[in-house]
């Protein structure tokens, strides 16, 4: 599958060397992407909040080379990180047709996250989008006529080929990926800004990430997505995601937080239900994940506040709540939920505006 609009015109002249840098945020899905076809095409559409504080900053230095093939070194927090190489090598080979200069340079990739590497927070979304944006900066130097819109769209297209959810980490603050008949402009190839009205209750929406388990991921997302191929409930799940996307449209418009909560929590638990019912099966929640969920439900019933949770493919809990309820919810998190986090650690985040270039 080749998408011609992202293949650049032959370069008139290559730069000998240079350096670019970008910072890109993580994102948290409300309707989950879980299951994909070849070429990183999602089985269903998804929608996410772009985060503000959880970010990856990546600098890319490049120098012309004459040898064939890809050549790069990758550093995390200043330390050589050879275990990142296979994923980047795969990324480069998937995107080379769209970024033909890749094999003309030796690259030094220096990356760091604002969240601890061992936090169990997936860095692939922010990491791949930061790298895709750096490559687009080089492309822009080779072709200064590129528009901002094309820059972001192609960055999202490239990032998706590195990691699906990364295509939702270019812009803010509500991003849709995957074609949906009711969402104008939605595409399987790129993330787009949610195109309809969003109620002011969602402004500065908060996401506090409770770090229940900072260990390595038990199941890589690639393995997890593949398990949806022969999953007995796959078709029902994709249909459910599709209708949840549709149901969110009036909810985002009206600010009906009760309806919002029920869609978001159902999505999180269905994601885990899919893992628990695949072959092989997994339980990625930990006892503390359930402790937190039960306490959160009891707190919500008692106070009537609009706090809810969502989960990624792991044990950490994302606690979502509106900005105007932040004082009470943050106090509840500090006094009641922090004790269920590893070493009491959690990260306060909120809706963000997307990636930004870094001066280098």
Looking at the DSSP bridge assignments, the partners of residue 349 are 207
State the nearest-atom distance from the C-beta of 345 to ligand DP6, in Å: 20
Helix or strand or coil: residue 155? helix
Backbone angles phi, psi at 29, to 5 degrees: -75, 140
Rounded to whole angstroms, the Cα distance separating 158 from 95 reads: 7
Confirm or reject binding of residue 173 to ligand DP6 (CB under 6 A).
no
Confirm or reject binding of residue 163 to ligand DP6 (CB under 6 A).
yes
Residue with tokens 């269903």: 44
Q: Number of residues in contact with ligand DP6, rule: CB under 6 A? A: 17
* Interacting positions 107-136 with ligand DP6 (CB under 6 A): 122, 124
Among 114, 152, 165, 342, binds ligand DP6 (CB under 6 A): 165
Among 312, 329, 337, 349, binds ligand DP6 (CB under 6 A): 312
Residue 46 contacts residue 168 (beta carbons within 8 Å):
yes
Q: Which is nearer to ligand DP6, 20 or 241 (CB)?
A: 241
E strand or H helix at 269, and its extent?
helix 257-276
Pairing of the two strands 206-210 and 71-76: unpaired
With contacts defined by CB under 6 A, name the span among 25-33, 97-105, 138-146, 299-307 that binds ligand DP6.
25-33
Confirm or reject binding of residue 156 to ligand DP6 (CB under 6 A).
no
Rounded to whole angstroms, the Cα distance separating 54 from 352 reads: 10
Rounded to whole angstroms, the Cα distance separating 165 from 135 reads: 18
Confirm or reject binding of residue 35 to ligand DP6 (CB under 6 A).
no
State the nearest-atom distance from the C-beta of 29 to ligand DP6, in Å: 3
Confirm or reject binding of residue 47 to ligand DP6 (CB under 6 A).
no
Binding site for ligand DP6 (CB under 6 A): 29, 32-34, 40, 46, 122, 124, 163-165, 221-222, 225, 271, 312-313
């Amino acid at each position: 599958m080749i998408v011609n609009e992202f293949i650049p015109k032959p370069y008139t002249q290559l730069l000998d060397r240079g350096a670019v840098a970008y910072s890109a945020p993580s994102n948290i899905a409300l309707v989950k992407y879980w299951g994909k076809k070849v070429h990183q095409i999602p089985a269903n559409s998804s929608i996410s909040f772009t985060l503000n504080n959880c970010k990856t900053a990546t600098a890319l230095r490049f120098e012309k080379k004459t040898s064939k093939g890809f050549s790069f070194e990758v550093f995390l927090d200043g330390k050589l990180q050879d275990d990142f190489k296979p994923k980047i090598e795969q990324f480069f080979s998937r995107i080379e047709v769209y970024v033909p200069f890749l094999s003309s340079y030796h690259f030094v990739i220096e990356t760091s996250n604002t969240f601890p590497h061992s936090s169990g927070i997936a860095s692939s979304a922010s990491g791949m989008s930061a790298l895709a944006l750096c490559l687009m900066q080089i492309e822009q130097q080779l072709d200064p006529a590129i528009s901002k819109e094309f820059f972001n769209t192609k960055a999202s297209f490239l990032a998706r080929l590195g990691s699906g959810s990364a295509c939702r980490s270019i812009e803010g603050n509500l991003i849709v990926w995957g074609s949906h008949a009711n969402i104008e402009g939605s595409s399987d190839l790129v993330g787009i800004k949610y195109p309809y009205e969003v109620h002011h209750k969602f402004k500065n929406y908060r996401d506090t990430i409770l770090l229940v388990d900072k260990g390595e991921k038990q199941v890589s997302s690639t393995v997890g997505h593949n398990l949806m191929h022969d999953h007995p409930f796959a078709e029902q799940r994709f249909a459910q995601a599709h209708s949840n996307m549709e149901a969110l449209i009036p909810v985002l418009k009206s600010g009906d937080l009760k309806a919002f909560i029920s869609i978001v929590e159902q999505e999180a638990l269905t994601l885990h239900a899919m893992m628990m019912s695949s072959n092989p099966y997994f339980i990625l929640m930990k006892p503390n994940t359930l402790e937190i969920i039960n306490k959160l439900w009891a707190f919500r019933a008692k106070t009537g506040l609009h706090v809810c949770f969502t989960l990624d493919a792991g044990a950490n809990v994302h606690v979502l709540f509106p900005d105007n309820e932040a004082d009470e919810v943050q106090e509840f998190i500090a006094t009641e939920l922090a004790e269920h986090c590893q070493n009491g650690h959690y990260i306060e985040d909120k809706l963000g505006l997307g990636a930004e270039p870094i001066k280098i």
